[in-house]
Amino acid sequence: MAIVKRGGRTKNKTQQQAPAKSGIKKAEFDLHKSKEVGVSDLTLLSKITDEAINDNLHKRFMNGTIYTYIGHVLISVNPFQDLGIYGPETLSKYRGRNRLEVPPHVFAIAESMYYNLKSYNENQCVIISGESGAGKTEAAKQIMQYIANVSVDSGNAEISKIKDMVLATNPLLESFGCAKTLRNNNSSRHGKYLEIQFSESNHQPIAAHITNYLLEKQRVVSQITNERNFHIFYQFTKHCPTQYQQQFGIQGPETYVYTSSAKCINVDGIDDSKDLDETLSAMKIIGLTELEQNNIFRMIASILWIGNVSFVEDESGNAAIRDDSVTQFVAYLLEVNPEILKKAIVERVIETTHGMRRGSTYHVPLNIVQATSVRDALAKGIYNNLFEWIVERVNVSLKGASQSSKTIGILDIYGFEIFEHNSFEQICINYVNEKLQQIFIQLTLKAEQDEYVKEQIKWTPIDYFNNKVVCDLIEATRPQPGLFAALNDSIKTAHADSDAADQVFAQRLSMVGASNRHFEDRKGKFIIKHYAGDVTYEVAGMTDKNKDALLRDLVELLSTSANPFVNQVLFPPSLLASITDSKKRPETASDKIKRSANDLVGTLSKCQPSYIRTIKPNQTKRPKEYENQQVLHQIKYLGLKENVRIRRAGFAFRTTFEKFVQRFYLLSPATGYAGDYIWRGDDISAVKEILKSCFIPATEYQLGTTKVFIKTPETLFGLEDMRDKYWHNMAARIQRAWRRYVKRKEDAARTIQSAWRIKKHGNQFEQLRDYGNGLVQGRKERRRMSMLGSRAFMGDYLGCSDTSGYGRFIVTQTGINEKVVFSGRGEILLSKFGRSSKRLPRIFVVTRTTIFIIAEVLIEKRLQLQSEFKIPISGLNYVALSHLQDNWVALSLHSPTPSTPDVFISLDFKTEFVTHLKKINPGLTINIGTTVQYQKKPGKFHTVKFISGNSSDVPEYGDVYKSGTVTVKPGLPSSSRNPKRPRGKSGKVDYSKYYNRGVKKSFPVPSARPTAASQPSYKSPVEQSYQPQVLAYQTPRPEEAKPVQRKAPPPAPVVQNQPQRQPQAIEPVRPVKKTAPSPPVRKTAPPPPPPPPALSAPAKPKFPTYKAMYDYDGSVAGSIPLVKDVVYYVESINGKWGLVKTLDESKEGWSPIDYLSQCEPPSSLFGAANPPSRPVAPSQPKVQSRESTVASAAVSSSTPASTVSNGSLSNGLAEALRAKKTEETTLAGSLADALKKRQGATRDDSDDEDDDDDDW
């Protein structure tokens, strides 16, 4: 659902007509636009099945798109390769954007959490779930990276320090808590919940805290084949710093049993050397001192050497140390007595008690198996306590000042595991995943439906599997004890003997799952039907692993260490006291994991959750490999289908009425004004008013008892977008008013400055014209058009400097990136092999460095421009012109031995063209003479002669080129100068375009009021009250005009780049009024009116009057357009041109004298000469054709409308017909002359023969 514009803001737009048919091709589809594969949100699937979900994920995965949504839940498929989608560019793309504006990504989830934290002031968390190797750790790292980048102010050193430490926890904890497994090269072997605390004032990170869950310490002493120990052991042994090699005796990983027994030392894609550098760097960033780092690596070395302690049987069959040097070196590292160490490993101290009295103490020797178990227990205990201390030490560094804060939590925990042999570690890991699945069900499925019922929202219930029954099977204590309770009871019953405890546990299993259909008891094994699948667990060794306590002998040994880091930090006295206290049962591993899991659930329940469900596409960790059955199994146990169904039927957003009004009251004028809340009613009525003002349909929301429910996220994002733009729009109003005010001031100042500069210094374009005229003064005849007072050197006639139009098209097509100083159209004389020279049209563009000669060509019916010549202005030797008024210019390009020919061109603005070249290159030579010499071919000069002639074959404003000779008519004397520029009309700046946007202006046709001279000396009351309707006639466009039956005299040469003439309106004709019905005639006629006064002699006109015989478009600069049958003044005649003025002297310009015929002054110039007549009754005006309009105009000019009556109508019609016939006779008589002149203007250059064309 899209948010529509608020009422009262629409604009009335006129209906646009369909565009006329043109040569523009139909728009083509952009094939390079990226196409989405599948659907980005599974709720958009047409069919909701597990197979349809799998098919969609498969398509996107093979396309390199690993992220997909289910509403606000992100589905991630591990690509097992670097797709390059986490760089700075991608991060900035998601910053400040809502989920639907960008493709699915883990950054979108992180942005949503941070936005909700700022906007709604609520704690946030992200729960990342999936099986081992599905990409949970990578997703957690990217979320941390994104939040750290978008929330930190780089100018605050303290905040930046917190950010760096938070990011440094990743490489540090990965080294000590992750390992290579069969399913994942970087598998998390512990759970981690990172809480980043943000200040409520500026929402920047101020502290952080890490909670650790269930480290897999068994991996320290044993791994299955092709797996590795924790990363830190390989990093330290392969690339140990120099200071530790001698001190701790570090050798390669193949030397130690704990790192080589699984036969996997090197892993593709893992650089242990680089990872060690990152680990050491992380330690420094977090603030670990050098002493603390030394102690950490001392403990790592101790564990490695403890693993190399081996045993042999003595004479009694008991275990004995094979090599005492190894135990002595271990004692050196732990700083304990070597003999005490040896006894603690091969002997066990047992104390007996008799009631409350202390009994005897026995030293029981151990066999090899038992001694090996004690040795491994020592190594596991040291590493487990070391890891917990590192986490606590990191929390000390991340702890900030105590202040009010909100948090974002990131949960990265081991995924669901199913191995061939599953023991106590797997049941703990899978139990935690069951708890997370339970949270997902409670917070997304069950809680959502329960809330709909509570709020009385219309809802269709959907069935789902609630895994609480499985969680109770493992953790419950009553009424039916679970597995953890059975394990603890077994240990309590048979504490001393592990095998006996296992047997007791196996017997209790029949009681645990007697009535639970998700449990099956097998001999020595049992099966739990988890949400992710059935897992078979082995009973052997479970009770011993559940004890999770070091032997008292080992704790007492470590408490004797001389190293405070060992006896005070890792194994403090409180630990020994808890072990020796027989009154309290020690906490088991199952107790710890149960307590941690419940604490985690409580923490997550207090946050607004986000979900990332990770999927592993294959078991081989290969990119682009997608196993359908494996993914389909994950889709089923993750419950994606049920999640899609819930999302399709539910609501995307809900909040209380109060919070909704607080957030969005600005969007309604009834609830908010200028940022203040003005609503007087209750919250629910305010919510209704806001939704109504935003035009949200009732189908997009529902109102509950305390909350408002928004159905789709698009609606919510639309509301948020409108809210974000509210203050922007308010500021924009003020800015527009201020800019309008400043614009008026600047325009006024600019107008005054421009007028003052012209007044003081003159017009720069006219000054450039005067400079150019001086270059040819007294040397070259001039054209009449060049000598007009209004002529100025404007330069860019094609508009190449404009932002749009044909000039911009020229610049874009030819790649001109310099400032254009001159552009125009002309011709170039080209000579081809074996053919005569030919004049071809070209476009000429001059920049500050180069002359571009451009050809227009049609390629596949498309106009394209090709740069034919690029001539450096600095390389010109000279330019050559003739002494006559022709337009030819020769450009000498090179030295006397060139490799390319010179250029011989013709263009109307040749003086301006040469002027710009001279301005750019002051040293340029301008040769003017009776001949022009240029190199037509490389190294061969060609001379063009110029002669003056008045024959009819030479056009009035052109020339004839033939056989190396140019013939042109005589021009104005070479000493001619431009007169002063005629004064134009005053005008003013129109500011309405800055604030009346989108309003179409109408330009009414101005009424043509008769002049005072044409008014009669008196008016009757009827005439004064009558206002005739004016019918203005506009000349039709060229494509609409009807063909003329006769040819007109040849027009003057038209410059190609001159603007088209505007249609001129013929003087309006007053329509003839219909005679009103006459009243009954009395028998006695009234007396006749008095005779009119004597006519006075008409005044002599100011200038001779001429009537236009033909239409003339006036396209030549300085000319005036003519309209046929309209009378004009002719002030002076210069050759074939006359200086023409309109009768009201408002316009003047040059026009061909052949287009005019001298006539008598029109009667409209002498108002007093025509006698007044009785008024005629008004009539309805009729639409007139052009011929009838012209005819009526001729009649009205000779006979006033007042003389037309019923008696004289026939006489007026007869005179009009005679005038029409006379006009046609006159035009027919001049037809022959017109044809002759037209033929004289026709050039046939293709028949010209060049005098040196046959030298080949």
Please give the angle made by the CA atoms of 158, 164 and 169, to the nearest 5 degrees: 130
Q: Work out the average pLDDT over 1059-1070.
A: 42
**Last residue within a domain, chosen from 512, 528, 547:** 547
Work out the pLDDT band at 23, boundaries 50, 70, 90: very low
Q: Are residues 821 and 950 in the same domain?
A: yes
Residue 338 has a pLDDT of 93
Quick: pLDDT tens for 830-882. 877 656 788 899 999 999 999 999 999 988 888 899 999 999 998 898 999 99
8 A C-beta contact, residue 330 and residue 341:
yes
- In angstroms, rounded to a whole number, what is the distance separating the alpha carbons of residues 3 and 759? 57
pLDDT of residue 1226: 47
- Has residue 445 been placed in a domain? yes
Is 137 catalytic? The answer is yes
Type of residue found at 295? N
Structure tokens at 542: 């479970």
Confidence of residue 353 (pLDDT cuts 50, 70, 90): low
What is the band of 1149 on the pLDDT scale with cuts at 50, 70, 90? confident
Burial (0-12, 13-18, 19+ Cβ within 10 Å), 1217: exposed
Is 404 noted as a catalytic residue in this protein? Answer: no
Asked if residue 797 and residue 707 are part of one domain, the reply reads no
Could you tell me if 777 and 852 lie in one domain? yes
Q: Which of 56, 98, 112, 132 is catalytic?
A: 132
In this predicted structure, what is the pLDDT of residue 1147? 82
Do 720 and 790 lie in a common domain? Answer: no
Split at pLDDT 50, 70, 90, the class of 896 is low
Determine the residue type at 1042: K
Weakest-pLDDT range from 516-520, 854-858, 897-901, 932-936: 897-901
Q: Would 673 be classed as within a structural domain?
A: yes
Q: Is the pLDDT of residue 1170 over 80?
A: no
Whether 910 is in a domain gets the answer yes
Of residues 1104 and 7, the one with the higher pLDDT is: 1104
Annotated catalytic residue: which of 151, 170, 181, 187? 187
Q: Do 713 and 811 lie in a common domain?
A: no
pLDDT exceeds 80 at position 155: no
Query: Containing domain of residue 686, as a range?
Result: 656-724
Active-site residue among 56, 68, 76, 137? Answer: 137
Q: Quick one: what percent of the chain has pLDDT higher than 70?
A: 77
User: In this predicted model, which residue has the larger pLDDT, 236 or 316?
Assistant: 236
Q: Is 899 assigned a catalytic role?
A: no
The better pLDDT of the pair 681, 1198 is held by 681
For residue 372, name the pLDDT band (cuts at 50, 70, 90).
very high
Is 771 found in the same domain as 720? no
Helical segments of 638-763, H only: 640-649, 657-664, 683-693, 713-761
778 and 711 in a common domain: no
Please write down the HEC assignment for all residues of 547-576.
HCCCCHHHHHHHHCCCCHHHHHHHCCHHHH
The segment with the largest mean pLDDT, out of 281-295, 459-473, 1038-1052, 1199-1213, is 281-295
For the stretch 904-931, pLDDT in tens is: 999 999 999 999 999 999 999 999 999 9
Residue 627 resides in a domain: no
The larger pLDDT score, comparing residue 56 to residue 1163, is at: 56
Binding-site residues from annotation for ATP = 130-137
Q: Check if 823 is active-site.
A: no
240 belongs to a structural domain: no
Among candidate residues 188, 430, 567, 847, the one labeled active-site is 188
**What is the mean pLDDT of the segment spanning 71-91?**
92
| Region of residue 1214 (left: phi > 0; alpha: psi -120 to 50; beta: else) | alpha
Calculate the CA dihedral of residues 808, 811, 815, 819 and round it to 10 degrees: -110
DSSP 796: B
Q: Given the structure tokens 């709604």, which residue do they identify?
A: 120
Q: Is 556 a catalytic residue?
A: no
Instruction: State the pLDDT at residue 782.
Output: 92
789 — pLDDT class (breaks 50, 70, 90): confident
Whether residue 672 is found in the same domain as residue 821? no
Higher pLDDT pick, 672 / 231:
231
Residues 806 and 923 in one domain: yes
* pLDDT tens digits, 939-976: 788 899 999 988 888 888 888 988 889 999 999 999 99
Q: For position 824, which CATH number holds?
A: 2.30.29.30
* pLDDT at position 985: 59
Report the candidate in 1060, 1056, 1169, 1045 with the shortest Cα–Cα distance to residue 1110: 1045
What are phi and psi for residue 425, nearest 5 degrees? -60, -40
Q: Is 746 annotated as catalytic?
A: no
Torsion of CA 738, 741, 742, 747, to 10 degrees: 150
Do 683 and 794 lie in a common domain? no
Q: How many domains does the chain have?
A: 4
> Which pLDDT score, from 0 to 100, does residue 972 have?
92
* Confidence at 85, pLDDT banded by 50, 70, 90: very high
Are 796 and 926 found together in one domain?
yes
What was the pLDDT predicted at 10?
41
Percentages helix, strand, coil for the chain, rounded to the nearest 5?
40, 20, 40
pLDDT at 1239 over 50: no
CA-nearest of 101, 6, 96, 115 to 663 is 115
Q: Which of 490, 520, 547 is the last residue of a domain?
A: 547
Choose the catalytic residue: 71, 177, 409, 415.
415
CA–CA dist 1108, 1101 (Å, integer): 18
Residue 1172 domain-assigned? no
Query: Which residues participate in the annotated binding site?
Result: 130-137
Can 170 be counted among the known catalytic residues? no
Question: Has residue 96 been placed in a domain?
Answer: no
Alpha-carbon separation of residue 1137 from 43, 644, 785, 1020, 1061 (angstroms): 81, 86, 10, 46, 19
Q: Specify the range with the lowest mean pLDDT, choosing from 109-118, 746-755, 798-807, 1143-1152.
A: 1143-1152
Q: How many CB atoms lie within 10 A of CB 1049?
A: 20
Dihedral, 964, 968, 971, 977 alpha carbons, nearest 10: -40
> Which pLDDT does position 433 carry in this prediction?
86
Residue with tokens 């990276």: 145
Q: Is the pLDDT of residue 1220 over 60?
A: no
Is-catalytic flag, 184? Answer: yes
Q: Tell me the CATH number at 676.
A: 3.30.70.1590
- A 10 A CB-CB count for 90 gives 15
Residue ending a domain, choose from 920, 944, 968? 968
Average pLDDT (1035-1058) is: 41
CB 798 within 8 A of CB 1055: no
| Distance of alpha carbon 316 from alpha carbon 1020, whole angstroms | 153
Domain of 1155, CATH number, reads 2.30.30.40
Residue 181 CB neighbours (<10 A): 22
Q: Supply the pLDDT for residue 674.
A: 76
- Of 56, 112, 184, 185, the active-site residue reads 184
The more confidently predicted of residues 1005 and 182 is 182
Mean pLDDT of the chain: 79
pLDDT at 762 (0 to 100): 74
Residue 1218: pLDDT over 70: no
pLDDT 10s digits, 271-280: 999 999 999 9
Residue 1183 lies inside a defined structural domain of this protein? no
Residues 602 and 599: their CA atoms lie apart, in Å, by 5
- Mean per-residue pLDDT, 52-56: 95
Residues 793 and 159: their CA atoms lie apart, in Å, by 64
What is the three-class DSSP state of 826? strand
59's CB contacts (< 8 A; 6+ apart) are 37, 38
Answer whether residue 410 shows pLDDT above 90: yes
| Token output for 1014 | 């044409």
- Residues 844 and 711 both lie in one domain: no
pLDDT for residue 1060: 43
> At 540, which CATH number?
1.20.58.530
Instruction: Cite the beta strand spans of 140-188 per DSSP E.
Output: 178-179, 187-188
Band (172; pLDDT cuts 50, 70, 90): very high
**Model pLDDT, residue 900:** 79
- For 1134, phi then psi, to 5°, come to -125, 95
For residue 1109, give every residue at least 6 positions away whose Cβ sits within 8 Å of its Cβ, in sequence order, or none: 1124, 1155, 1156, 1157, 1227, 1230
